[in-house]
Structure 1
Amino acid sequence: MSGRARVEARIATLGELGEILGSMKTLAAVEARTLARLQTHQAGVSAVIDTASRAFWQHYGGTLLPDAGTPVTLAVGSERGFVGDFNRRVAAAVPAGAPCLTVGRRLPGRLPAGVPMVGTLDGPVVADEVEPVLTATLAAFARFIEGLGPPRITAVYQVPGGVGVRQRQIFPPSPEPPAVHGAGNPPLLNLSPGDFLRELLDYHLTAALRDVVLSSLTAENEQRTQHLDAAVRRLDERRAALRRRGQALRQEEITEEIEVILLGETALAPLHRE
């Protein structure tokens, strides 16, 4: 195979890679729109729960769980690649000493040495997988509670919009105390304050976990899109360079062909004179 043929074959291969990367970018964009809708809905749900928590805190604050319990970290990484140092940055923010539950199979290998592990769960790849991940995470925490009692959960995860890694206590909730405790009429409860609190905590934890996983998956898609954009630019630059190389090789071939023709004409010139 000539040099120009090898260059053309390489250009064709890069073209196929470009089509694959383009498809991946399209899928990431579609997923980003889906996640944006889910986050908008989740923000509304969280606002309702926060409002109920503040009202309950205002009148029944003495029955809320204290900020105590066994510390445990929920670290959320990525399940797929093309995200650069996404998992490394999450792992670097995981506090040492506290047991850690990881979401995303690429994350555990990047955790600092000595971090005790509660378990590792598959992370979501697309938005449709968020709810199964939540179910598995809640089940893992239920097992943790059976063994070690009520936890104090700190989530470590990436936040979209270029914010980076965030550490956030998601359980037990810590609503802001009211300016005037007990002001106004207490909310009407169909349950006892204790039973209502248990239900409220379940809703709060589920909503907080959903927000964490959605935020992480959105940030993951953002970083993947950025890396794919950079990869497409590098690929286009490489294809352009190869095209220039191919044109140069073609010019060399044409020059060689002309030289051969001229040499042939020179060799035949005496015969023509005869």
Structure 2
Amino acid sequence: MVELARIEARLESLGQLGVLVTAMRSMAAVRAREAQDALIGTQAFCATVDRAIASLSQLPGRKTPDETGAPVLLVITSENGFVGGFNTRIMEHVQEIRMPEERLVLIGRRGQILAGEMHMQPEIALPMTSRVSGVTQLARRATNRLMGATHARVVFAQHEKSGTYAVVHRSVLPLAADPPQNAAAAPPLHHLPTPELLDRLAGEYLFAKIAHALMESLACENNVRLLTMDAATRNIDSRFDKLRREERQALQEQTTSDMLDVIVGSEAVEGK
């Protein structure tokens, strides 16, 4: 009887865990889809800013990029867990490519924990958003923290069509010195001095690149969480089936024991 009660208790706990995993899986699927859809918008915004900078590159008065000042490495990880080796891959990539003089700006609590274990101390630590609606505000905060930098790179997880991801790093500062091949043929009309105009545009450029990297990372994080929850669901189903078999066996043994008790009791009564 004790064994049967133990199995039933485990089945109840496993059922509750299954409900929780199903809810987390559904949430991850929704957020992954939202982030993937939003990538179209962040890509378009980046392209618009790139075209604006390309057109201004033809104007006289461009400043030479400042070579002074410590470079910055902005790293985007996840705020929450259940993402397998997602954050570990990102932080291992940071270990490989980070230059000794680069100041570390780290987004995401999980990455901050790993950074401590890897003996890396971030100069600035920010929480990672878990929703698409929080990307704009977080990108503005990160942009404001990097505005004084002259050289900056960003490390993030890049979403791939297959549902997987790759850990990449991109340079976001300084602005490209040479115009791309699709630069406008005629210089644009403008009222501000070129250096001032570029300074103002640099902020939007930095914001656009960081926002896109955040959106990429958010899509990847939730895709990984979705796969993790799928694996957890399969594991729960397998354990549930095993416990059901054990429950049936325990029930049979309990029934047999009860029948024997009845037979023994009957024999004892008849023998009196």
TM-score, reference length from structure 2: 0.86
Deviation at 1:22, TM superposition (A): 0.9
CA RMSD of aligned residues (A): 2.5
Change over 3 Å in CA distance of 1:114–1:247 after alignment to 2: closer
Do residues 132 (structure 1) and 134 (structure 2) align? no
Q: Deviations over 1:7-61 (max 9, x none)?
A: 011101111111111111111122122212321111111121122222222x237
Q: After the TM superposition, which residues 221-232 of structure 1 pair with which residues of structure 2 at under 5 Å, given as runs? A: 221-232=222-233
Instruction: Provide structure 2 residue ranges, at least 5 long, that are not aligned to the other structure.
Output: none
Do residues 108 (structure 1) and 112 (structure 2) align? yes
1:15 counterpart letter in structure 2: G
Q: After the TM superposition, which residues 195-274 of structure 1 pair with which residues of structure 2 at under 5 Å, given as runs? A: 195-267=196-268
SS of match in other structure, 2:169? strand
Distance between the aligned counterparts of 1:78 and 1:27, measured in 2?
15
Change over 3 Å in CA distance of 1:13–1:132 after alignment to 2: same
TM-score, reference length from structure 1: 0.86
Match of 1:19 in 2: 19
Tell me, yes or no, if the aligned pair for 1:103 and 1:120 is still in contact at 8 Å: yes
The runs of at least 4 aligned residues of structure 1 exceeding 6 Å deviation read: none
Q: More relative contact order in 1 or in 2 (CA 8 Å, sep 6+)?
A: 2
Change over 3 Å in CA distance of 1:246–1:178 after alignment to 2: closer
Deviation at 1:257, TM superposition (A): 2.4
Indicate which of 171, 174, 178 corresponds to 2:173: 171
> Which structure has the bigger radius of gyration?
1
Distance between the aligned counterparts of 1:14 and 1:194, measured in 2?
63
SS of match in other structure, 1:125? coil
Distance between the aligned counterparts of 1:24 and 1:183, measured in 2?
47
Match of 1:157 in 2: 156
Distance between the aligned counterparts of 2:109 and 2:150, measured in 1?
23
SS of match in other structure, 1:185? coil
Distance between the aligned counterparts of 2:4 and 2:181, measured in 1?
78
Tell me, yes or no, if the aligned pair for 1:99 and 1:115 is still in contact at 8 Å: no
The sequence identity of aligned pairs, in percent, is 28
SS of match in other structure, 1:83? coil
Deviation at 1:266, TM superposition (A): 4.8
Change over 3 Å in CA distance of 1:65–1:249 after alignment to 2: farther
Tell me, yes or no, if the aligned pair for 1:11 and 1:239 is still in contact at 8 Å: yes
Tell me how many residue pairs correspond in the alignment: 263
Change over 3 Å in CA distance of 1:10–1:34 after alignment to 2: same
Tell me, yes or no, if the aligned pair for 2:151 and 2:174 is still in contact at 8 Å: yes
Instruction: Provide structure 1 residue ranges, at least 5 long, that are not aligned to the other structure.
Output: none
Distance between the aligned counterparts of 1:237 and 1:21, measured in 2?
14
Distance between the aligned counterparts of 2:83 and 2:61, measured in 1?
45
Distance between the aligned counterparts of 1:5 and 1:34, measured in 2?
44
Tell me, yes or no, if the aligned pair for 2:55 and 2:179 is still in contact at 8 Å: no
Change over 3 Å in CA distance of 1:220–1:213 after alignment to 2: same
SS of match in other structure, 1:82? coil
Tell me, yes or no, if the aligned pair for 2:66 and 2:150 is still in contact at 8 Å: no
Match of 1:41 in 2: 41
Indicate which of 103, 114, 122 corresponds to 1:117: 122
SS of match in other structure, 2:238? helix
Larger displacement relative to structure 2 (207-216 or 24-33): 24-33
1:21 counterpart letter in structure 2: V
